[in-house]
Structure 1
């Protein structure tokens, strides 16, 4: 059984890298929009009895979901043996409970939708908080891979004397793992969220780490308010300009630029979402999981 790797729009670079790692063929398809905004999908490759890998990271998911749904179902109708989704960033994970009356638990609804669309899912560091395992949400085999080892390898290779800083208590387990793998000390701060774009972060205790480079690590950088406030604290506490690392470069409009303007020496992300800050590659990590 051959493996065919298809890129949905915007995912061409990652799909090409995965095809090389997997020694797989690139699938050919036409995906476009009609003038009325509806999606058109046509698969040109022969997928009969083949393993189809659809590469589609799911930031800004609402505009991506229908083409993905149509691609997966077209592949199944054309006789694909298995349809796998590689979604390095997985959307709709943070609404994991009803916070206010009348809300929906959209993480569960989204999981139901994807579970009925593809046969298997691969993602990286999804925001698992109240749900602790992917199988609590997904009815298909869904593998959550972890970027901690490759983030730690980047830190070891590029930062001479790091002190890792996590933004809140939720980050403790993840930041401690990266720190352990990078042979570096770490601190975890307390964060209070006041709104979608406003947070309060406690000051880190930097007295013992004046010669260390602060490395702020988080899974998602969206508005960047947490990192911006932490960077502003650090400017008053240490002479070393901080480096900011995020797994997923979600970045609301202007957030990346604001983080650099706040005083970050460097902003580095994994290539789970295409962005100018991508400096840590997840290609081999994903390929290894797909092979096994």
Structure 2
């Protein structure tokens, strides 16, 4: 049967393109809040026997989690053949271990919640830190897609003589792959994080790249502190104003404006999270993986 695409709040800009690409019907659904803040959800599209795909990007996740879980539970109750999640951005991967006594290991707790609600999960460039794969925390089939080729194509088309700058040693392999596909050189920062908003970076020798345009590349830009400090170092080194490029533009309060004021020549992100900086379309990447997961679930 034709898949049913359920679009949760925040993911509307991707909905029509994803539905067309996977051959799905867009669900009609009433989603609102009672006066006390509790969620009301009702499907107005037939669900029984159909694969249901929930489209929900999980930036600012706490307010999105309840509607997502209710949509998944209702789809199961109404007879969906499978229920999967396409989450262009997946939250709660930073706290993957207990750094101080008494802390919640939120990455594992969040994964257990989603494991209980879904049959599968597809996301793009999750921020895994010390984890090698999503399977280390998720029990359901969880696919991590990679936007590096899309970033490389954008750089090659949009930036003249780019020099890619990676945020830290952990990113070197990823940044090197993007640089190789874009046909560009790369360097990597040394970074020490002193807190959620305090970052100290040092720039390697870049004197021989004065005729290049720096492109600061990261998987996520949240506070923007690493990029802001790097812009200052690049300016001191006499390089051109940089392009700031990220897969996921989370942009904590004021971060986007702070990046612009710091001297970024351009800020570009994918459309995993709707924002004015969106320049790289993930539709085809997501759609191919979702089609594959829906087909696999049907054969199971």
- Provide TM-score, normalisation by structure 1: 0.98
8 Å contact kept, 1:9–1:31: no
Per chain length, whose mean CA-contact separation is higher, i.e. which structure has more relative contact order (CA < 8 Å, sep 6+)? 2
Alpha-carbon distance in 2 for matches of 1:239, 1:51: 52
Q: Per-residue displacement from partner, 1:172-214 (whole Å, max 9, x unpaired)?
A: 1110110111111100110011111111100232111011100
What is the aligned partner in structure 1 of residue 258 from structure 2? 258
What is the aligned partner in structure 1 of residue 37 from structure 2? 37
Aligned residue runs from structure 1 range 164-175, under 5 A: 164-175=164-175
8 Å contact kept, 1:169–1:189: yes
Q: Say if 2:229 is the partner of 1:233.
A: no
What is the aligned partner in structure 1 of residue 296 from structure 2? none
8 Å contact kept, 2:119–2:140: yes
What is the aligned partner in structure 2 of residue 6 from structure 1? 6
What is the aligned partner in structure 2 of residue 143 from structure 1? 143
Q: Per-residue displacement from partner, 1:216-275 (whole Å, max 9, x unpaired)?
A: 000110100000000011112134110000111111110000001000000000111111
Alpha-carbon distance in 1 for matches of 2:113, 2:238: 48
Deviant stretches of 4+, over 3 Å: none
8 Å contact kept, 1:206–1:237: yes
Q: Per-residue displacement from partner, 1:84-140 (whole Å, max 9, x unpaired)?
A: 101111111000111001112110010000000111100001111222111111111
8 Å contact kept, 1:7–1:55: yes
Mean Cα displacement is larger for which, 219-228 or 7-16? 7-16
Alpha-carbon distance in 1 for matches of 2:215, 2:275: 20
Q: CA RMSD in A?
A: 0.9
What is the aligned partner in structure 2 of residue 16 from structure 1? 16
8 Å contact kept, 2:214–2:239: no
8 Å contact kept, 2:270–2:278: yes
SS in 2 for 1:151: helix
8 Å contact kept, 2:123–2:144: yes
SS in 2 for 1:64: helix
What is the aligned partner in structure 2 of residue 163 from structure 1? 163
Q: Per-residue displacement from partner, 1:116-165 (whole Å, max 9, x unpaired)?
A: 01111000011112221111111111000001010001001101210000
SS in 1 for 2:268: strand
8 Å contact kept, 1:204–1:234: no
What is the aligned partner in structure 1 of residue 49 from structure 2? 49
Uncovered stretches (5+) of structure 1, i.e. residues with no partner = none
What is the aligned partner in structure 2 of residue 83 from structure 1? 83
Q: Say if 2:68 is the partner of 1:68.
A: yes
Alpha-carbon distance in 1 for matches of 2:86, 2:24: 15
What is the aligned partner in structure 1 of residue 290 from structure 2? 290
What is the aligned partner in structure 1 of residue 297 from structure 2? none
Q: Per-residue displacement from partner, 1:46-66 (whole Å, max 9, x unpaired)?
A: 011111111110111111101
Mean Cα displacement is larger for which, 235-244 or 79-88? 235-244
